[in-house]
Structure 1
Amino acid sequence: MRVVYRGLAVAGAVVVVAATLAVVLPSEPDEVAAGPVTAPPAAPSSSGSAPVPSVTASPSVTASPSVAPATERATPRPGTSLAPGYTAMEALYADPRVPRLTRSVKRMPLRSPGKRFIKDRRAGLRVPKLPRPWKRYGAAPFTTKQVLPKQRGTALRGVFVTCPLPIMKQKSPRDTALLAARWTLNHHPKGSRITWLASQPVKRGWMLAYRVTYGKHSSRAAVVVVDGGMSKPGLAFVSVPDSQRKYWRDIGRVASGVRVLG
């Protein structure tokens, strides 16, 4: 009997120890808590620009209301490399060629557009017919086109074109105009950079005037984005190089003269 009682005592002690361990030691979870996970930003590169954090989430698991929402990604800095999935405006903010449009950029006085107009039925716009030596020219790939005479020793010359908006429309006319101005760099020399000169609303749209610098030279330019009632807003774009600077005055005529085609 002593052997039996001694065995029962040992067994009881084992049960007590096991129960204690069950209470003290936490059990390992079967899976990680669900919810979006935001990767921390990597260390800045030698150029000083930091990669933008990416966001991944498990599509098969829904986060509970008690889980804190994922951190919003920061607005990219100029020169930042963007991962796929970023918006057009985020790409704009990361473009070192295009500075931020701040409140310090003033409006420009708009002069009389004149009495002669050209109709762009595809864009739904009526735009000024600029005085001589401007002349109409083969429009493709645009809808209308006016140019200044060619100059010896350079391919650059003043140009004024209209067309349906070639980029995606944004919620704000101002943002749409910003993206349009960035798009116009495709029609300036390589390495061109923008400096804002004027920014203001126009009827059913927005106008931006800016200087485009490339090397030792520059152009004055403007974009006017107007909703002409078509499937896409209409774009008017004018640019005049410094070699033809006496025609910079016509940029104001364009900026003030774009109208909805009635």
Structure 2
Amino acid sequence: MSPGDYGTKAVPSYIAAEAETTPLPKITVPEPAPPASPPRKLGDLPMRVVYKVVAVAAGVAVLGAGAAVVLLNRDDPDTMAAAPRQSAVVGLPSAVSASSASSAAAPAAGAAATPGLSPLSSPLSSPAVSPAASVAASPDAVDPALAAALKDPRVPALPKADRRLRDLPGRAAATRGLVKDRRSGVALPRFAKGWALATPTPFASRQLLPRVKGASYRGMLVSCPVPIPEQETLRDTAFLAARWTLNHHPSGATITWTASQPMKAGKRKGWLLGYTVHYTLKGEKRVSAAALALVDVPEKKPAVVFVTIPDSQKKRWRDINTVMSSVRAL
């Protein structure tokens, strides 16, 4: 047996200790990757997130419905008129219903605005209003002078229907030509008897009846440019002018209407008012017959022709008809 060949015998420990050994390879165990987060379920989300999602979805649905209402109903007056009635049927106040509809339709109106509406308005919340309704709903829009006259207890509102000036009693005086008031732009009859021309100030023309013994008030016929603020219509301007004539009647005088009608002053339009003036003199109730013609004068303020005759001179009342039928624009 050769040296180092021990056969199947056990190798002595001291020999095994001295034998060469091969170093073991280093084994590295890789760390496992963290498992992917499983998808969250609705029950795992915080409630505030759920509420936000629901609110956004509801908002989108409302906006879509509002846009559809605006696009479908923008040219359908029957649908627009029926909207307030629908809110009443379901028991909601119409103001609340209109407000909600306006809020819902506002974004859609911003994207495709309906002509004639404010971006903050909707067809349901902005119905058309007639000028008459606007004035009734907004008294501040009325001229202050007219608003004051409508509240004046001395002057009742004009008759709603036209009322023609009737023939007054008495015998009309003769006339001779016309008084041409170029300052006012009108011509009126000049009476030949009974009446006398007088200093016009503060008017543009003036004629007077003679004084009656024991009476401090006498008949007067004058013309001038309208001395009050001009209104939208000849009728309203004439109404204010008639109120102004109370300044030339005894204190405390009041009016009752006898006529209110459109008139022609030559080729120009006008408005005629007839009225009775009531007042008290020396404790006695008295009246005057009066009339006023307001004439539309080109390129000037309207002209006023005003005549008043007290009952102490009632034989001259028919002259009022002569004046009103003879007024002409120059």
Distance in 2, Cα, partners of 1:232 & 1:222: 19
Which of 147-156 and 242-251 deviates more? Answer: 147-156
Structure 1 residue matching 2:258: 3-state secondary structure: strand
* Cα-to-partner distance string for 1:58-94 (whole Å, 9 max, x where unaligned): xxxx882145689956489xxxxx98x7413333222
Q: Which amino acid aligns with 2:279?
A: Y
Identical columns (%): 43
Structure 1 residue matching 2:325: 3-state secondary structure: helix
Distance in 2 between the 1:75 and 1:236 partners?
34
Query: Residue deviations 1:236-258, cap 9 Å, x none?
Result: 01111111111111111111111
| Equivalent-residue separation in structure 2 for 1:153 and 1:64 (angstroms) | 71
8 Å contact kept, 1:119–1:126: yes
RMSD after superposition: 3.2
TM superposition score normalised by structure 1: 0.67
Q: Which residue of the partner structure matches residue 96 of structure 1? A: 153
The answer to whether the 8 A contact 2:180-2:188 is kept is yes
- Tell me which residue corresponds to 1:65: 121
Q: 2:324 aligns with which of 252, 255, 259?
A: 255
Q: For the residues of structure 2 that align with 1:199 and 1:103, how far apart are their CA atoms?
A: 8
In structure 2, distance between residues paired with 1:180 and 1:231: 16
Q: Is the 8 A contact 2:162 2:260 kept in 1?
A: no
Instruction: Note if 1:177 corresponds to 2:234.
Output: no
Q: Distance in 1 between matches of 2:198 and 2:246?
A: 21
Aligned pairs for 1:108-127 within 5 A? 108-109=166-167, 114-127=175-188
Instruction: Provide the C-alpha distance between the structure 2 equivalents of 1:194 and 1:17, rounded to a whole number of angstroms.
Output: 77
Is the partner of 2:275 in helix, strand or coil? strand
Verify the 8 A CA contact 1:113 1:256 in the aligned structure 2: no
The residue type equivalent to 1:98 in the other structure is V
Kindly provide the amino acid, as one letter, of the partner of residue 150 in structure 2. Answer: Y
CA distance in 1, matches of 2:275, 2:200: 23
Runs of 5+ unmatched residues, structure 2: 1-44, 55-117
Map 1:78-227 to 2 at 5 A. Answer: 86-87=142-143, 88-100=145-157, 101-103=159-161, 105-109=163-167, 114-203=175-264, 204=268, 205-215=270-280, 216-227=285-296
2:310 maps to what in 1?
241
User: Residues 192-219 of structure 1: CA distance to partner in whole angstroms, max 9, x if unpaired?
Assistant: 1111111222212111111011131111
**What are the superposed Cα offsets for residues 126-151 of structure 1, whole Å, 9 maximum, x if unpaired?**
10012322101111000110001122
| TM-score for the superposition, normalised by structure 2 | 0.54
> Secondary structure of 1:194's partner?
strand
Structure 2: distance between partners of 1:198 and 1:132: 27
- Checking the alignment, whether the CA contact within 8 Å between 1:113 and 1:254 is kept in structure 2 is no
Counterpart position of 2:20: none
The letter of the residue matching 1:121 is: R
Q: Which has the higher helix share?
A: 2
Is the partner of 2:235 in helix, strand or coil? helix
Measured after TM superposition, the shift of residue 171 of structure 1 is: 2.6
Is the 2:163–2:261 contact (alpha carbons within 8 Å) kept by the matching residues of 1?
no
- Over 3 Å counting, the alpha-carbon distance change for 1:149 and 1:75 in structure 2 is farther
Q: Residues 193, 21 of structure 1: CA spacing in aligned structure 2 closer, same or farther, 3 A cutoff?
A: farther
Q: Please tell me whether the aligned partners of residues 149 and 157 of structure 1 are also in contact (alpha carbons under 8 angstroms).
A: yes
Once residues 72 and 21 of structure 1 are traced to their aligned partners in structure 2, the CA distance between those partners, rounded to angstroms, is: 45
